[in-house]
Amino acid sequence: MKRLQFLQKVTLCICTATLLIASATVEGRTKHKTPAAAQPQKAQETKPEETPAPTDVQPAPAPLPQPGALNVPVPPAPTLDAKSWVLMDYASGQVLAESGADTRVEPASITKVMTSYVVGAQLAAGKIKMDDEVYISENAWRGGGASTDGSTSFLALNSKVALKDLLYGMIIQSGNDAAIALAEHTAGSEQTFAALMNQHAQQLGMTGTHYVNPSGLPAPEEYTTARDIATLSRALIRDFPEEYKIYAIKEFEWNGVKQHNRNSLLWRDASVDGIKTGHTKEAGFCLATSAKRGDQRLIAVVMGTGSEKARADANQAVLNYGFRFFETHKLYDANKPLAQPVLWRGANDKIGLGLADDMLITLPRGRYNDLKATMELPSRLIAPYAKGQKIGVLRVKLDDKVLIERPLVVLGDEPEGGLWRRFSDDVGLWFKSAPTTETSAAPSTAVAAPAAPVQ
């Protein structure tokens, strides 16, 4: 009997201790809650003692109000006499205005932008070199040479030309013979090169595009969209900046013949540094341009206008519209903690959450201080988690409209804790009645001030 009473007392002591530990665990893990949504505050008004606890959502500092900034409405984009067009911000990739951006159209010589991209990728991989001597085949000579009606670099049959000169000839002179010769040298044939073009298009997310040849000469199954051309142009500028510099060159001489770049905006607007013209009877007059003013770069694509002047005027109009009424800001840096919520059953007490890539946003000028950012996180986070695993969402809104949404990811591996840690947390979780699958908003409206200028 005495032995039984002793065991009962020991059991009671263990249970009491467990309850005290669980109570302390719950209290310690819930005393710091994610703050509710609030308007951004001035950075200089934050006092040291008001710094959020480590478990709080921690976005970057709020922006300072801009003195005299007015909420000026943005007018509609200009109306263009074109089959389709699109205006894109280079840094954020946001489409600022468009008309029929996903309509299938014939690409004409704008196809050569993808040819240039593929050649750039092969150069970067070391598979071809700028000083390669490229053989000018009969196919290149007959298909795109001086005897054709299309644009040409006047390459001589059976001659050898440095790859660099062919690249310049294709980009500046829009030489069809140069494009064909580059394709044959890079992939062995136009058909194989076209397959490479389509593979790159798929990787870049160009869902409305299909290539048949490297020159853009008319073909029934060759098509693209204004949006896809803008996407490709952005990738070219980003991935091969040295090659992109060729697009700004106004003239190029080869074999005694000097030809001017057909992009007339290079002469009209000093901020324009590319990209490519195109024209066939079916496609009309097309032009993809890019311009940089200050720290902002825009990409405009206009397809199917009635004349060379019309395509230049249309591109100029949408570029001016974009620069006048929109601005781009960097909100958050990649791989920096924006939230450090409680982690259960883990080796650490908290888990760091952030973005896999920098977050940039384009919005109407003067509206930066009106942005609101919210985070949506699960109510419970239970280890283990792997680095890069998606947990929750960060949304940025303007006037209750979501402008951009990105997943929050785990910034480092978070393994399970030891046996005692898991046991005590399990007891603590038992006292928390909320189900582990419940999702609740954990908002924070602080929006980061611009960091380095957006390039």
| DSSP structure string for 301-345 | EEEEESSHHHHHHHHHHHHHHHHHHEEEEEEE-TTS-SB--B-BS
**What are the two backbone dihedrals, phi and then psi, of residue 283, each rounded to the nearest 5 degrees?**
-80, -25
CA distance 63 to 401: 20
The set of long-range contacts for 45-54, using a CB threshold of 8 Å and a minimum separation of 24, is 54/340, 54/350
User: How far from 159 is each of 87, 117, 145, 171, 323, CA to CA, in Å?
Assistant: 42, 25, 13, 20, 46
- Give how far Cα 451 sits from Cα of 213, 331, 426, 448, Å: 43, 8, 42, 8
| Alpha-carbon gap, residue 278 to 148, rounded angstroms | 16
Q: Is 23 a catalytic residue?
A: no
Q: Extract the runs of DSSP E, i.e. beta strands, from 190-271.
A: 251-254, 257-260
Q: What is the pLDDT of residue 10?
A: 40
Per-residue pLDDT of the chain (455 residues; tens, 9 = 90+): 444 344 344 444 444 444 444 454 445 554 433 333 323 333 333 333 333 333 334 344 344 444 445 567 889 999 999 999 999 999 999 999 999 999 999 999 999 999 999 999 999 999 999 999 999 999 999 999 888 888 999 999 999 999 999 999 999 999 999 999 999 999 999 999 999 999 999 999 999 999 999 999 999 999 999 999 999 999 999 999 999 999 999 999 988 899 999 999 999 999 999 999 999 999 999 999 999 999 999 999 999 999 999 999 999 999 999 999 999 999 999 999 999 999 999 999 999 999 999 999 999 999 998 999 999 999 899 999 999 999 999 999 999 899 999 999 999 999 998 898 887 777 777 876 544 333 323 333 344 433 333 43
The alpha carbon of residue 40 and the mean position of all alpha carbons in its chain are separated, in whole angstroms, by: 26
Lookup: tokens for 151: 């644009």
CA distance 222 to 163: 26
| pLDDT given at position 73 | 84
**Catalytic site includes residue 92:** no
Question: Tokens standing for 56?
Answer: 């709080």
Is 397 assigned a catalytic role? Answer: no
Residue-wise burial string across 339-362, b where 16 or more C-beta atoms lie within 10 A, e elsewhere: bbbbbbbbeeebbbbbbeebbbbb
pTM of the predicted model, to two decimals?
0.80
Cβ contacts of 286 within 8 Å, gap of 6 or more: 105, 107, 108, 110, 277, 278, 279, 301, 302, 303, 304, 305, 311
Q: Specify which residues 407 forms β-bridges with.
A: 393
E strands, 21-127, are 84-89, 95-99
Write the DSSP string, 418-432: -HHHHHHHHHHHHH-
> Of the residues 84, 116, 151, 174, which is catalytic?
174
- HSE (side-chain half, CA atoms, 13 Å) at 152: 19
Helix axes 176-187, 190-203, angle to 10 degrees: 90
Query: In the beta sheet, which residues pair with residue 277?
Result: 287
Tokens of 397: 């809104």
Whole-number pLDDT of residue 430: 80
Whole-number CA gyration radius for the chain: 30
- Could you tell me how far CA 3 lies from the centroid of its own chain? 72
What's the count of helices (H) and strands (E) in the chain, helices before strands?
Answer: 11, 16
Q: What is d(CA 192, CA 175) in angstroms, rounded to the nearest whole number?
A: 20
Length of the chain equals 455
Tokens of 142: 């007959």
What kind and span of H or E run contains 267? helix 265-268
- Among 112, 330, 350, 372, the active-site one is 112
- pLDDT the model gives residue 354: 96
Identify the H or E element spanning 284: strand 284-293
pLDDT at 433: 53
Q: 114 near 213, Cβ under 8 Å?
A: no
CA atoms within 13 A on the CB side of 23: 6
At 168, is the secondary structure helix, strand, or coil?
A: helix
